[in-house]
Structure 1
Amino acid sequence: MATRSTSIIAGKPVNETIQVGEHVLTVSQALNYFTAWLPKPGNYPRVVRPYLLFCLANAYPIDRFSLGLFAAGLSANRVSPLRKFLLFYHTQGTPRLVADPPRASTTIPAANELILGFLHDTTTLRGDESKDTYTKSLNAFFRYLADEQLQGRQASFAGQTVGRYVEWLKNEGLSAFTVNIRLSAIKQLAAWVIKNRHKVGVSAEQVDALRDVAAVRGLTTERKFYKDSLQQAERDELLQAIDDPMDRAIVALLVIEGLRTVEVTRLKVGDIDFERQQLWVKGKGKNTKKDIILFPTCAQALDLYLQEAYYWPISTHAGKALFPALKTHQIRYRVDKYLKQLALKRPRLSAHSLRHTTGQLLIQEGVEPIHVQRHLRHELFETTQFYIKKQTEQDYYVKIVVSNKSDA
C-alpha cells in the first residue's frame, strides 16, 4: 500500500511517497487507525505513542507482557488507553509496526521560503519578539501539515485545512488567545502569498484556496479585565511603604507613570528630563523612544534614587542604564514581595497590574481617554477603552441610583 502527500499549497504536487508493505504500519499510521476505531479518541493516541516507541526501541512484541513492563507505576487513567490499544491491535491481526520515516528537517523547505519572505516584507510586526512569535506559529502550522501528510490525510495551505488545524489546536487544550494568534499569523501569511502570487509562483486555483483562509473563524473569546488594579489609597500605601530608593523608583515608574516592566529595564539615566518634566520611554517591540510627562511623585522617587546611586549630574551618566542588569522577573519578584507585605496581593494583581492602575486612576480623575492612550502609548484606542468599560461597571450602581433619585 502506498500513500502520497500533497503540497503545502493546494494543487502543487510533491514527489514524496511512503511505501508501506502489506500488514506493515508505521507508528503514526497505526495510531491514525486507532483514532478512527475509537468512538471518542480523547488523548488516547498521544498516551499510546510512547508505549509503541518503547516496544520498537527494545524489540518487544506488542502484548500484555511488554505492556506490563511499560505501565509499571503508571496511574489507571494512563494504563486504560494502553489496554484499549492492545485490544484494537489484536482485533486487526497484529500487523507489524515500524518507526515513522525520519524527517529531513523540522520545517518544510518551501515553508521556510514563504515564512522568510513574509517576515522580510511585513511592516506590521515590530521588534524581534513579535517576529519570533509569528515564526513559531507558522512553523507549528507547517509541522501540522507535514504530520497530516505523513499519515496519509489530505492537507494543504488552504481554508479547509486551516479550519481543521484550528479545531485541532482547540482539542490540544490551547487557549483561545493562543489559537487566535496562530490563526492570525496564518491569515497574514496567506494574504502575503496572494499579494506576491507571481513571485511565489502559485496558480489561480491555489490563490482561490488561499483566499478561503481569510474566512476561517477563530475561537470566541470574551475580553475581560484579566488584570486587577489598585485603588488610589492602595497605590499611595504601596509607595509609602517602600524604603529602598531603587525599589521605590521602580514601583513609581510602574504605578505612577504606567511603564511596562520591560520598559523600566530599558531606561537610561539620560531618559529623565527633570527640567522639562519628561520621561523618554522605549516601548515594547520598538526601537524608538516616546516622551511622556514625568509626574512629581515619580520625579521625587527618581531624584532620591539618582542621588543614592551617585548618578548626579545626569549629563555625566546619561548613557548608563538607569537600573544596571535589572531583569523583568526581578521586578515581578520585588512587586509581589511588597504587595504581600501589605496584604494587597490578589489573584489577578501583579507587577503589570500597576500599569493598569495608572490607566484606571487617570480615567477616574477625568483625564480624556485620548490622552490616556497617548500616555500609556497604546497603539489601538480599543485597548484604552477597557479602562473606560471597567470604570463604567464600577460606577453603574452608584450613578444609576443617584439618577433615579433625582427623577423622583
Structure 2
Amino acid sequence: MIDKTQIILKPLWHNKIMYIAIEFDYDCDTLKNFTSDLPHVKWSKTYNIFCTHHNKSRINELFQCFRNQGWYVNYEAFRVLKKTKHLPEVKQTSIINKLPILSDDQRVSISHFKKWLEQKRFSHNTVNTYVDVTSSFLRYLNYQNLNLISARSIEQFNYDFIFNAKKSISYQNQCISGIKHYIDFKNIEVDSFDIKRPSKDRKLPNVLSKSDVKNLFDATKNLKHKTLLILVYSSGLRIGEALKLRIKDIDFERGLIHIKSAKGKKDRYTLLSKALIPILKSYINHYTPNSYLFEGRFGDPYTQVSARQVFKKSLLNAGIKKYSTLHTLRHSFATHLLEAGTDIRYIQELLGHNSPKTTMIYTHVSTTKLIDIKNPFDSL
C-alpha cells in the first residue's frame, strides 16, 4: 500500500539560480533523515527547506528515490514552469549539474567507503560530507573521461568544482579531506599530491545579549523546546552534544552534565544550572523520555533539523532580528562567563576546546574591558 505522505518538488530561485526545493511535513523524522542523507541535498538556513541544484535528471532521480520508499511525489510546479513564458534570467549553475551519474562500480565503492568512514567513528555529518564530495569527484572523473585518480585530476577538480564555483574555504578543506580519505581507503598512490589548504577567515562569533537570551526563552512556550534551548545555553553545548545526551548523563546532585565522545572523541563535564533543574525535572516527568533526553517520535534522538526549526521560531516570537543560530547560544554562554570574570582556562574546559587559542576568541567579543576604555572624543 502506498504511503499517503506527500513530497512536493518545486523551483526555488536564489541569486537568479534555480534550485529544487523539497517540501514536506517536517514533523516526520523518518522523512527528514532520509532526505538529509540524499547526495547533494542540503538544508537551506535562508529558506528553511531542503534543496539541491536543478537539472532535469535531478528531478527524475529525486522522484525515483522518494517513490521507491512508497511516498507520493508532486512535481507539478516544474510542469507549470515549462509553460511560463516570462522566466527569471538564469545564471550558469555549478559544474555539478553537468556531471554524469556514478557507475555501478563507483556506487559500490562509495557504499564501502561510507562504511569504512563509519568504522573509523567519524561523526554522521562528517561521513555524509566526505561521501558527498568524493561522489562529486568521481562524477567529475567520469565527466573528464578519466579512469585513474591523479594529482592533476584532483587539482583540476579543486579548481573547477571549488574555486570557480566560489565555494567556501571550509567546504574546500572538506573536499580535500574527503578525497584524501578515499585515496587511503582505496590504497591508491598519487604522486606529488600536495594541494595547500587555504587559511580560514578569522571571524568573530555572533553573541546575544543576556536580555535577548531571556526574551528568547520567555517567547518559547513549549516545555520541551524551552528545556532544550536553555540547556544548550546554560551548559555551552554544541547542538549535536545536546541531542546525544541520555538521562543518565545528568548528575542532579553534583550539578554537572557528562558529555561523552564529543568533538575529537573527548569526554568532559560541564555545568548544570540550578535554575534549570526544576524545569528539566518537570520536562522529564511530563515527556518521560526512555533513553535519550530529547527524543523524536519513534524514540530516536531529536533531529538537528527540528531543533533549528524550534530556535528560528523562538527568535521570531522574541522579535530578535540579529543573525543567530543554535551555536550562537554556545558563543553567548562563553562570552557571558568571561564578562562575569570566569577564568578563561575554566571556560576552555567547559567548552571542550583543545587549545586556549580557540577560547581566546571570546575576549574579542566581550564588552567587559571595552566599556572601561575612555573614548578620546569624550575628552576633546
TM-score, reference length from structure 2: 0.61
The aligned residue for residue 329 of structure 1 is: 305
Whole-angstrom distance in 1 between the partners of 2:355 and 2:136: 28
Query: Would the aligned equivalents of 2:268 and 2:350 in 1 still touch at CA under 8 Å?
Result: no
Alpha-carbon distance, 1:259 to partner: 2.1
Q: What are the superposed Cα offsets for residues 215-249 of structure 1, whole Å, 9 maximum, x if unpaired? A: x2344542313x52211222233334545433332
The aligned residue for residue 206 of structure 2 is: 228
Query: Would the aligned equivalents of 2:255 and 2:273 in 1 still touch at CA under 8 Å?
Result: yes
1:168 aligns with 2:160: yes
The aligned residue for residue 351 of structure 1 is: 326
Matches within 5 A, 1:123-162: 126-149=122-145, 157-162=149-154
The aligned residue for residue 238 of structure 1 is: 216
Greater per-residue helix proportion: 1
Query: Would the aligned equivalents of 2:247 and 2:293 in 1 still touch at CA under 8 Å?
Result: yes
Cα RMSD after superposing both structures: 4.4
> How many equivalent residue pairs?
292
Alpha-carbon distance, 1:297 to partner: 2.2
1:182 aligns with 2:181: no
Query: Would the aligned equivalents of 1:108 and 1:142 in 2 still touch at CA under 8 Å?
Result: no
2:345 pairs, out of 370, 388, 392, with: 370
1:272 aligns with 2:250: yes
Q: What are the superposed Cα offsets for residues 249-273 of structure 1, whole Å, 9 maximum, x if unpaired? A: 2221011112233333333322222
Q: What are the superposed Cα offsets for residues 316-366 of structure 1, whole Å, 9 maximum, x if unpaired? A: x8x5333331333332223222322222232x2133321221122122223
Whole-angstrom distance in 1 between the partners of 2:312 and 2:258: 26
Whole-angstrom distance in 2 between the partners of 1:321 and 1:79: 46
Whole-angstrom distance in 1 between the partners of 2:211 and 2:197: 41
Whole-angstrom distance in 1 between the partners of 2:84 and 2:318: 48
Q: Would the alpha carbon gap of residues 117 and 131 (structure 1) be closer, same or farther in structure 2, given more than 3 Å must change?
A: closer
1:263 pairs, out of 241, 247, 258, with: 241
Letter in 1 for 2:230: A
Whole-angstrom distance in 1 between the partners of 2:356 and 2:233: 21
Q: Would the alpha carbon gap of residues 118 and 381 (structure 1) be closer, same or farther in structure 2, given more than 3 Å must change?
A: farther
Alpha-carbon distance, 1:370 to partner: 2.8
Whole-angstrom distance in 2 between the partners of 1:404 and 1:79: 49
Q: Would the alpha carbon gap of residues 175 and 308 (structure 1) be closer, same or farther in structure 2, given more than 3 Å must change?
A: same
Rg comparison, structure with higher value: 1
1:338 aligns with 2:314: yes
1:281 aligns with 2:259: yes
Query: Would the aligned equivalents of 2:353 and 2:359 in 1 still touch at CA under 8 Å?
Result: yes
1:296 pairs, out of 249, 270, 274, with: 274
Letter in 2 for 1:235: V
Q: Would the alpha carbon gap of residues 163 and 359 (structure 1) be closer, same or farther in structure 2, given more than 3 Å must change?
A: same
Query: Would the aligned equivalents of 2:259 and 2:267 in 1 still touch at CA under 8 Å?
Result: yes
Whole-angstrom distance in 2 between the partners of 1:386 and 1:263: 21
Alpha-carbon distance, 1:79 to partner: 11
1:105 aligns with 2:81: no
Alpha-carbon distance, 1:275 to partner: 0.8
The aligned residue for residue 374 of structure 2 is: 401
Whole-angstrom distance in 2 between the partners of 1:334 and 1:201: 45
Name which of structure 1's ranges 377-386 and 163-172 shifts more when overlaid on structure 2: 377-386
1:213 aligns with 2:193: yes
Deviant stretches of 4+, over 6 Å: 46-50, 100-103, 285-288, 402-406
Query: Would the aligned equivalents of 2:308 and 2:326 in 1 still touch at CA under 8 Å?
Result: yes
Whole-angstrom distance in 1 between the partners of 2:160 and 2:188: 29
2:360 pairs, out of 376, 379, 385, with: 385
Whole-angstrom distance in 2 between the partners of 1:113 and 1:275: 46
Alpha-carbon distance, 1:117 to partner: 9.9
Q: Would the alpha carbon gap of residues 112 and 270 (structure 1) be closer, same or farther in structure 2, given more than 3 Å must change?
A: closer
**SS of structure 2 residue aligned to 1:279:** strand
**SS of structure 1 residue aligned to 2:145:** helix
1:360 aligns with 2:340: no
Alpha-carbon distance, 1:182 to partner: 0.2
Whole-angstrom distance in 2 between the partners of 1:102 and 1:266: 35
**Unmatched runs of 5 consecutive residues or more in structure 1:** 1-45, 51-69, 81-99, 312-316
Query: Would the aligned equivalents of 1:362 and 1:372 in 2 still touch at CA under 8 Å?
Result: yes
**Unmatched runs of 5 consecutive residues or more in structure 2:** 1-52, 58-81, 93-98, 297-301
Whole-angstrom distance in 1 between the partners of 2:135 and 2:203: 30
Whole-angstrom distance in 2 between the partners of 1:47 and 1:149: 23
Query: Would the aligned equivalents of 2:250 and 2:258 in 1 still touch at CA under 8 Å?
Result: yes
Whole-angstrom distance in 1 between the partners of 2:100 and 2:215: 63
Alpha-carbon distance, 1:173 to partner: 4.0
Alpha-carbon distance, 1:274 to partner: 1.2
